[in-house]
Amino acid sequence: MKKLNIAIIGGGIGGLTAALGLARSGFRPTVYEQAPALGEVGAGLSVTPNAVKGLVFLGLGKALDQAASEPLQQIVRHHQTNQIMVRIDRNPCRDQYGAPYLQIHRADMHRILVDAFTALVPDGIRLNAHIAAMTADPSGVALTLADQSTAKADLVIGADGLRSSVRQWCFGGDAARYTGHVAYRGLIPRADLKDLIMDEGSCAWAGPGRVFLRYPLRHGALINCVMLGRSEHWAEETWSAKADVGELQSTLKGWPEEVQRLINAIPSERCFKWGLFDRPPLAAIVSDRLALIGDAAHPMLPFFAQGAASAIEDAVVLARCMEASDDLADALQRYQRARLERVTFMQIQSSAGGERLQMDDTERLKKEPLKNEDTLGIFHYDPANVPI
């Protein structure tokens, strides 16, 4: 098993976590990343306790402590009155779930994973490596790259995101579908907001069809802002396009002063938007020589912050299954049994979470029982110890 040639398609959070987990178990996977360079991309990322337990298992606890922020409370306010509708105390998080709730710049998380993996497999990442075709036969999987070079793999792990080519080649099915939601994000240097007093931790404002969220990154040096809202159409070609700050100002006109101050402070070059897409749950996430992880297997809307977290769970569990099995078929079936029910549940609940936050009657957030990651038990999961 340890001599298997493993190809991981996609060098994002899920793919790199899988690579690190497999490398720590004695395998030498190769990550195929189509980008020409590994650089700073994205903005804020929530690493919830379920995911933190997996990353600590992979030896990244110290690096997380140094790079991540720990919000000790999460607040949801009313979009008009600014009244607190929900307050979640995160101080007991470590005792309650066995790990903290963290927030980190996606680029910092990516760098931590790259450094840890390449320390074990120095030549393990191939850049400019777009997979143009994939053909399976009894001897393995033949990969053809866009530059016409070829490679052979005994196992292909599809970590190539929402519009996964690996998923399409192996399972077919419908294309990604627009969900009717658009997201905006912006990063603000905290120094540009020095006279703005903000609640500690993270804070969201909820209103009909809209949610605006802000939280600190890099130990408060940056403020990450996100707006999620309903929109009938999305026509952009890219998943993340430059946005006009004026669009946010217009969309959230009349929202509380802090929201206005934050929007006005977003540098124009750091404002982006993207449409939110999903795909229906799969009945299987493995085949003879294939395993899907992360968004390739189960793309999730961001309302429960479980997209990256579930990809990390997948990666840790898959690596454990590979280490514990004597043959590939057994490893893949173990992985599917351990993951399919959970990720399908999280896919469905992540979508429902958006509807609850953006309901027309915002007052119901305060009146009705809270239904979130805590009450649904999502944070108790431990990918390092779940039965396989």
Going by C-alpha positions, the residue among 164, 190, 191 that lies closest to residue 175 is 164
Please spell the DSSP secondary structure of 43-65, one letter per residue: -EEEE-HHHHHHHHHTT-HHHHH
CA 252 to chain centre: 26
- The tokens 């997380």 sit on which residue? 64
Please spell the DSSP secondary structure of 87-134, one letter per residue: EEE-TTHHHHHSS--EEEEHHHHHHHHHHHHHHH-TT-EESS--EEEE
CA pair distance 125, 16, nearest whole angstrom: 9
Q: Which position among 97, 215, 335, 381 bears the catalytic label?
A: 215
Going by C-alpha positions, the residue among 159, 121, 165 that lies closest to residue 145 is 165
- Phi, psi torsion values for 23, nearest 5 degrees: -65, -40
Query: Side-chain half-sphere of 336: how many Cα atoms within 13 Å?
Result: 18
**b/e per residue, 246-258, with b = 16+ CB within 10 A?**
eebeebbeebbeb
> Residue 336: which residues within 8 A CB-CB, separation 6 or more?
284, 285, 286
CA pair distance 110, 55, nearest whole angstrom: 12
Dihedral angle over CA of 305, 199, 252, 254, nearest 10? 150
CA 290 to chain centre: 21
Tokens, residue 81: 């009155």
Cα-trace Rg, the chain:
21
32 in active site: no
Q: Which residues are catalytic?
A: 215
